[in-house]
Structure 1
Amino acid sequence: MTNRPRRAPRRTGLACVLALCLATALTACGSSDDGGDDGGGPADVTAALEKGGTIKVWAWEPTLKQVAKDFEDEHPKVKVKLVNAGTNKDEYTALQNAISAGSGVPDVAQIEYYALGQFTLTESLTDLAGFGADKLGDTYSPGPWNAVSSSDGIHALPMDSGPMALFYNKDVFDKHHIAVPRTWDEYVAAARKLHKADPEVYITSDTGDPGLTTSLIWQAGGRPYTVDGTEVSIDFSDQGSATYTRTWQKLIDDKLLAPTVGWSDEWYKGLSDGKIATLPIGAWMPANLMSGAPKGKGSWRVAPLPQWKPGKPVSAENGGSALAVPTKSGNKALAYAFVQYANAGKGVKTRVHDGAFPATKATLESKEFLNRRYPYFGGQKANVIFSKAAADVPDDWSYLPFQVYANSVFNDAVGTAYTSGTPLDKGLADWRKASVKYGKEQGFTIE
């Protein structure tokens, strides 16, 4: 599961490779004339399993270790070499470098949804439709499937998902007689009441997080990115972005956000002792709370994400990743067999049992999943809320094909709103300017 902050690589190396791919008419980077099979259908997968062989899988997701073992047990002729080539940015840099060099490319790679674009644009990932992946659309919840599919094909299979919910410290809210917020306006009001009652308590922490920002804009109806090949539009002046900035600006202006860097020891301490009272975040968060803030056991609960306006509930994805087959894989059919097993077959149950959050609708709707009680959350059936959130994610969101780079410079622009009084909408405008400049330098046409 994707349960760490999603930081992106800086321009050095990775951006230059992307520029080189674009400069060489894109398709050269996606060439598959390296001796690997180009696929053909389910029959090729069956034949590959019967023949056997070794596949190399690059992934940092811990539950894949058991999945790989089970896959090998079921197919004795197959060997899965599972390699942790680094988390998110480190793996992407290594993968891009291997693709550019034409050697050392894995057969399967874990790639987060927001980063898929930089690899699909350069045709570096195999279209899995030829193996039958185009028949799996109804298998997954809307957000993850939208992230891996396009008119150009199926670029990966969803591995997990991050539908958003509100994690909150019930003890803190009860102590100060504050109701759990159902809207973002109520959230701001609750933030004021909490901080007034105890100046050491904050509604949440945020020092500038591109994932949180874009997810809340997504939930608010904003669609700042449109992508059609190398033609890109970036516009943070839409209504959804404005809705987000107006509300979040109040939290910044009134100093209601803990100035604590996410995923730090101080952050976990704040979650443990109740100084940070809520987290609007992806459904993969429970395992992190259990391990990072064990003293919070019994105090925390889960509620639906606050809404921008009452009515039909809307959520958004925050995090999540997929397994893809690079075009330079030497054994695409066998690689797909593993991807399908892990993300749509028997491996799903194994991964969920070991702590992953599913992207498959059957699991999200199963009684076993929905009836699971979390001792950390006071015995609450939190998956009921997560499953509903997954179904409430609009499926028309797009990331930039260079989102990895854009996220890496987020704090240079939007981060100033948290430190130097720059208005949040001005920070987003500066972020757009930096993204546009970079995109044009890489050969994109940007409105």
Structure 2
Amino acid sequence: MRTHPSRRLLGALAVVSTLALTATACGSGASDGSAADSGPKDYRAALEKGGKVTVWAWEPTLKKVAEDFEKKYPKVDVELVNAGTGDKQYTALQNAIAAGSGAPDVAQVEYYALGQFAIGKSVEDLSAYGARKYGTGFTPGPWNAVTQDQAVYALPMDSGPMAFFYNKKVFDKHGITVPTTWDEYVEAARALHKADPKIFITNDTGDAGATTSLIWQAGGRPYKTQGTHVTLNFDDEGTKTYTATWQKLLDEKLVAPISSWSDAWYKGLADGSIATLSIGAWMPANLTSGVASASGDWRVAPLPQWTKGDTASAENGGSSLAVPKAATNKELAYAFAEFATTGAGASSRVAEGAFPATRADLESTAFLDAPFPYFGGQKANRIFAESARNVGADWSYLPYQVYANSVFNDTVGKAYVSSTRLADGLKAWQEAGVKYGKDQGFTVDE
């Protein structure tokens, strides 16, 4: 599934307290991820009694999950509501929480945005419902994104381990070898553009999600959060490694000045003028539906490495299911979230096209051996699964990452349209984040 990484401003973040750090674990593993089979008594009682669960989400595979859940628990009515995608839903959710009414029982929240709701104590710590038992069942990146010390603020719904998508037809025509390092990637960019000035190695007009993901892969850890104490520093070695390479591409005008998800972007992917993408494993469905004419031209490879021989990867996109504190039916809400993200529910979503965050699905033979006709029959899931295993698990987002991403183009974005250096743009982004954090009551170090 695609989750757009660039977001607009949600509005001010109210900081009410530090993150809750205490929780208890209970229950044992379940065969199908249902709370009735494995959870505490109150889950069984709630499911037997029945009631209504309102779920705010835009992810289409949840429709099948809701049908399956209602079939298994006929006294429960699941109402799926599309309250908007990403920031539109977060605005509505924040408004409902502030008003004290109208909040859903379950909300889809992207990983980068979850910290905002956790720090405000507006979502439940699901470890009290036994969620911590699922920690080893999810891949490291998504699980790390939903946890803070002993607290679990959501259950991972999908993931976006990164991979390298390339137009094999274009590469073969111009004798380009698939790059295994970012230095080789720069050389490939030069060779492609020299062979045909209309061809660019990729597109980039400044994207917060793509930038932070590549910094993540390079070993950069610019964000650290402990309660309301935040460290924000884009001067670490990993960030410098990313910046040095990407600056070469910008200086030599080797990336197409085309925004992702635009009509021009889809056209470039179709005609080969945009030759590669370094993006999350949810991308195949978008290529299949949006770039159908290039079926058979594209292939998948591991992400190029910053150091030759490494296997490091990062996440790009992905969502979780959280239970707001203001939920009316918290037990039923957790039961649904658990069902949708583990066991049979997770497998159902994978069958519907979602990319799994669950180890069981990632390791299944059926998943790994599934051929992708779009990629010439390639078993691309093997590459995606390997990437998921190699995601650095110690990445953190800011508890106000939604705001930070909203001002990315006002700061870092200048490096794409002026003489501003990328490192200077990141410094300006850092300064904007520091100021905002302090204004909202955080203690912020640089």
- Inter-CA distance 409–282: structure 2 relative to 1 (3 Å threshold): same
* Pairing 1:130–2:128 present: yes
CA contact (8 A) 1:6 1:88 kept: no
Alignment of 1:67-78 (within 5 A): 67-78=65-76
Runs of 4 or more, structure 1, over 6 Å off, are none
- Pairwise CA distance, 1:41: 5.6
SS state at 1:399 partner: coil
Moved more, 148-157 or 420-429: 148-157
Distance 1:387 1:26 in 2: 35
Q: 2:187 corresponds to which residue?
A: 189
2:315 to 314, 317, 331: 317
Q: 2:4 corresponds to which residue?
A: 5
Q: 1:169 corresponds to which residue?
A: 167
The Cα offsets for residues 164-218 of structure 1, whole Å up to 9 and x where unpaired, read as 0000000000000010000000000000000000000000000000001000000
CA contact (8 A) 1:56 1:82 kept: yes
Alignment of 1:409-428 (within 5 A): 409-428=407-426
CA contact (8 A) 1:52 1:78 kept: yes
- Pairwise CA distance, 1:152: 4.7
CA contact (8 A) 1:6 1:211 kept: yes
The Cα offsets for residues 101-137 of structure 1, whole Å up to 9 and x where unpaired, read as 1100100000000000000001111111121111110
SS state at 2:353 partner: coil
* Pairing 1:358–2:378 present: no
CA contact (8 A) 1:273 1:296 kept: yes
Q: 1:259 corresponds to which residue?
A: 257
The Cα offsets for residues 342-395 of structure 1, whole Å up to 9 and x where unpaired, read as 101211111111110000001001000000000000000000000000000010
Q: 2:137 corresponds to which residue?
A: 139
Q: TM-score, normalised by structure 1?
A: 0.94
Q: 1:33 corresponds to which residue?
A: none
Q: 2:397 corresponds to which residue?
A: 399
Letter in 1 for 2:352: D
- Could you list the runs of 5+ residues in structure 2 that have no partner in the other structure? 21-37
SS state at 1:177 partner: coil
CA contact (8 A) 2:5 2:210 kept: no
Q: 1:439 corresponds to which residue?
A: 437
- Inter-CA distance 130–295: structure 2 relative to 1 (3 Å threshold): same
Distance 2:422 2:95 in 1: 35
2:11 to 5, 10, 15: 15
Letter in 1 for 2:172: D
* Pairing 1:217–2:223 present: no
Distance 1:135 1:69 in 2: 26
Letter in 2 for 1:265: D
- Could you list the runs of 5+ residues in structure 1 that have no partner in the other structure? 29-39
SS state at 1:136 partner: helix
Distance 1:281 1:196 in 2: 25
CA contact (8 A) 1:63 1:354 kept: yes
CA contact (8 A) 1:373 1:379 kept: yes
- Pairwise CA distance, 1:15: 3.0
CA contact (8 A) 2:52 2:78 kept: yes
CA contact (8 A) 2:371 2:377 kept: yes
- Pairwise CA distance, 1:27: 9.1
- Inter-CA distance 225–253: structure 2 relative to 1 (3 Å threshold): same
CA contact (8 A) 1:7 1:89 kept: no
Distance 2:132 2:361 in 1: 20
SS state at 1:346 partner: helix
Q: 1:100 corresponds to which residue?
A: 98
* Pairing 1:54–2:57 present: no
Distance 1:439 1:308 in 2: 31
Distance 2:6 2:258 in 1: 17
SS state at 1:168 partner: strand
Q: 1:35 corresponds to which residue?
A: none
CA contact (8 A) 1:7 1:88 kept: no
CA contact (8 A) 2:19 2:228 kept: no
Alignment of 1:264-413 (within 5 A): 264-413=262-411
The Cα offsets for residues 252-311 of structure 1, whole Å up to 9 and x where unpaired, read as 000000011110011001001101000000000000000110011000000000000022
SS state at 2:11 partner: helix
Distance 2:275 2:288 in 1: 16
The Cα offsets for residues 120-161 of structure 1, whole Å up to 9 and x where unpaired, read as 001111111121111110110000000001115110000000
- Inter-CA distance 274–323: structure 2 relative to 1 (3 Å threshold): same
Q: CA RMSD in A?
A: 1.4
Moved more, 144-153 or 319-328: 144-153
The Cα offsets for residues 313-339 of structure 1, whole Å up to 9 and x where unpaired, read as 000000001000011111111111111
- Pairwise CA distance, 1:7: 2.8
Letter in 2 for 1:80: V
Q: 1:117 corresponds to which residue?
A: 115
CA contact (8 A) 2:135 2:143 kept: yes
1:64 to 28, 37, 62: 62
Distance 1:384 1:92 in 2: 34
Moved more, 143-152 or 382-391: 143-152
Moved more, 56-65 or 343-352: 343-352
% identity of equivalent residues:
64
Distance 1:83 1:26 in 2: 31
